[in-house]
Chains A and B, each alone.
Chain A
Amino acid sequence: MKSERRSFWPVVVTALSAALFVLLFLYLEHEWEIALLAVGLVAVLFCSARFGLLARVETAASDHPRTTILVNVVSALLVIVFLREEHFALLMLATVFLYITICLGLTLQFGYAGIVNFAGIAFFGIGSYTAAVLAVHSPLPHLLVILVSGLVAGLIGSLLILPMLRTRGHYAALVTIAFGILFRTFLEVNDLLGGPQGLKVPGMQLFGWSLNDNISLGPLGMISFYASYAVISLLLAAGAYTLIKRLERSWLGLNLDAVRTDETAAASFGIDLPRWKIFAFTAGNCLAGVAGGVYAMMSGFIAPASFNFGDSLLLVSIVLLGGSGNPLGVLPAALLVVVLPEKLQIIQEYRLLLFAVLVILILRFRPEGLLPRRIREYYAGWGRS
């Protein structure tokens, strides 16, 4: 079977049109335009999945993995350049990238290894608080602080490993839910970490340059300081995405698939269940923690109330909406879930209700989500006619 290297153009076209879409989505003001765009996105995704266009793009992408990522990052950068003066649009974009990072972590835990994590936002919060404390009280350079935030999140997550390994299904879910609530309550009653009043976080300083200053381009205007954070979040999301994709295609992903599909069968084939579960859970939490660190520095203020159970459910709904197990689905889902309520003031209040109902409908009628998970390609050219 000869594997043809597909033409690269579908990827470029998709990347550019996606960039344009995101740009319009963030820039336009009128609500009917936004609603139209959102509906359009869903329609396009459905149609392209149906007509096999998506498969074409995905195969082209998998043939040129490195260039794909590059093209996508470049088109995202183009969007940032275009929006350089819009504070709030850039803030939203950065938030979307951070949420994509967390949800990719959740995809690793849930989509690949089958571990349910209802405390996603708690690990995000651990990352944020670690960054807040370290940035103020230690001389560590901020880049290192972000990494440490991820490590701490993974470390604290490992406290939950023993109960999680020994339980399955609902019991495991209970452990993460209990932890999520415990985390929030602990933060609120603990004055050391600011209590309900929260903590102020200094802006990021990289190599002597403070990210919290607007960059002035003289007569060309200025670049909002959120642009720097947007770029960092973009790099983070791109890195996470590459990682997850590579993981999926490697033998690690194969093992995870086996663990998820049937634990007993996997065990009888000699796959070390605890090891893979620990790996997936910790890695996912680390990603969430790193995203939390960047978020803390970007918003400059964190409080326990930002990290409650409803937000964890929102993260889970992003993963489900996009199609659990398909990292590509996380992107449009995160964009819709984060940006839509901000743009459509009408639904801002009804946000949680709306997404809950949406997820119920999806679980009931289309459990695969927007972009269903692809069948694993066991070797190059497998499954193509």
Chain B
Amino acid sequence: MDPGFIAQYLLNGIVLGVIYAMVAVGFTLFFGVLDVIKFSHGDVVMAGAFTALATYAGLEYLGVGDGAIAAIVITVMGIAAMAALGAVLAKLLILPLRDAPPLNTLLITLMFGLALRESVRLFYPNGSNPKPFPQLLPDAAMTIGNLELRLDSVLLIVLGLGAIVAVHLMIQRSRIGLAIRAVAQDPETARLMGINFERVVLMTFALGSALAALAGITNGLYYSEVNFGMGLLLGVIGFSAAVVGGLGSLYGAIIGGFLFAALQTIGAVWFSVPAYKDVFAFACIIVLMAWKPTGLLADKSAERV
């Protein structure tokens, strides 16, 4: 095959990988801090994209229009709204169920995700239709042989990777990151050390949800479209990626994200009916889970009996 086409597939795969990685990092964060799988994460991604869309509609109405300013404004709005939603979710649904069997938390977040998805479908005007997402990035493109290198794809990759690196740096280098890591390791001792447990949990959820919003906006910009069902598949993919990489490990989540994107791309190229790519990717995940139940880069953990 022409190297240009291979490069094209590679480029597509990288953008997908960045999006998946962003979602996976969110999952890993939540798990690390509270041993909780927030299944509504995918739908938070979708809600973030829709918030951005709604903000854009508002901006259009006010006549502020296109360009970099609009892009920044809707991104900020999306992130802020989802951060707030994440914190509220933590306060109302997750924290109170801390002592209940973990299954209950899983179920409640699943149901919340369903509720979120249905709410957008029902209450957003014409929610059940796929909606065009504004084209806010420059659409300059460079044609190198058979590769169409678009500036917006590159921008999105840089943006996504930058966000992940920023989160990583924050967790590793800042004070709040230290607090998050402390709570993840041992909540009781952390409290003894004077860390405000609840505040840290809320912050973590806000952070993860903000990242989710960014993933949603990236997705919207890439496909120029958002629809109310996009969160379900993204959530499952992000979760699979996080699990395969090893829950609790940031690097694992990133690797998992790119791995899933690679599986999908390989599946698309290999099979004569590209639609089999999802079946292929999920089947691989199930096999991987059977082989390495705790993920590729598992954290060593001990379970108290």
A touching B, CB within 8 angstroms = yes
**B102 contacts chain A at the CB level, 8 A cutoff:** yes
A360→B111 contact, CB < 8 A = yes
Chain A proximity mask over B253-285: 1 for CB below 8 Å, otherwise 0: 000000000000000000001011011001101
| A349 at the B interface (CB under 8 A) | yes
Closest residue of B by beta carbon distance from A263 = B305
Q: Which residue of B lies closest to A178 (CB)?
A: B282
Is there contact, CB below 8 Å, between A350 and B289? no
Contact B118 A352 (CB under 8 A): yes
Q: In the complex, A182→B278 CA distance in Å?
A: 7
A177 partner residues in chain B, CB cutoff 8 A: 236, 239
Cβ of A384 < 8 Å from any Cβ of B?
A: no
Contact of A171 with B289 in the complex, beta carbons under 8 Å: yes
CB distance from A112 to the nearest CB of B (A): 14
CB distance from A126 to the nearest CB of B (A): 15
CB distance from A363 to the nearest CB of B (A): 5
Instruction: Report the Cα distance A353→B114, complex, angstroms.
Output: 7
In the complex with contacts A188-B275, A189-B279, A316-B289 CB distance below 8 A = no
A181 and B282 within 8 A (CB): yes
A181 & B103 in contact (Cβ 8 Å cutoff)? no
Q: Which of B102, B110, B232 contacts A169 (CB 8 A)?
A: B102
B55-90: CB near A (< 8 Å → 1, else 0) gives: 000000000000000000000000000000000000
Of all chain A residues, the one with the shortest Cβ separation from B290 is A163
Bound complex: CA A110 to CA B122 (Å): 31
* List of B residues within 8 angstroms of A188 by Cβ: 275
Interface size class of B (residues with CB under 8 A): 35 or more
Question: Is the CB–CB distance between A310 and B236 below 8 Å?
Answer: no
Checking B114, B236, B289 against A356 with a beta-carbon cut-off of 8 angstroms, the contacting residue is B114
Nearest A residue to B303, CB-CB: A264
CB neighbors of B among A317-338 (8 A): 317, 320
Determine if A275 is an interface residue (Cβ-Cβ < 8 Å). Answer: no
Decide if A54 is an interface residue (CB 8 Å cutoff): no
Tell me if A39 is interfacial: C-beta within 8 Å of chain B. Answer: no
A116 at interface (Cβ–Cβ under 8 A)?
Answer: yes
Which A residues touch B278, using CB under 8 A?
181-182, 185
B282-305 interface bits toward A, Cβ cutoff 8 Å, 1 = contact, 0 = none:
110111011001100000000001
Checking B102, B118, B232, B289 against A353 with a beta-carbon cut-off of 8 angstroms, the contacting residue is B118
Whole-angstrom CA separation of A167 from B93 in the bound complex: 25
Q: Would A359 and B118 be within 8 Å (CB), given that A171-B293, A171-B294, A181-B236 are in contact?
A: no
Known: A171-B243, A356-B118. A166 touches B290 (CB 8 A): yes
| Also in contact, A185 and B239, with CB within 8 A (given A167-B293, A350-B118, A356-B115) | no
B binding-site residues for A, Cβ under 8 Å? 31, 37, 93, 96-97, 100, 102-104, 106-108, 110-112, 114-115, 118-119, 122, 232-233, 236, 239-240, 243, 247, 273, 275-276, 278-279, 282-283, 285-287, 289-290, 293-294, 305
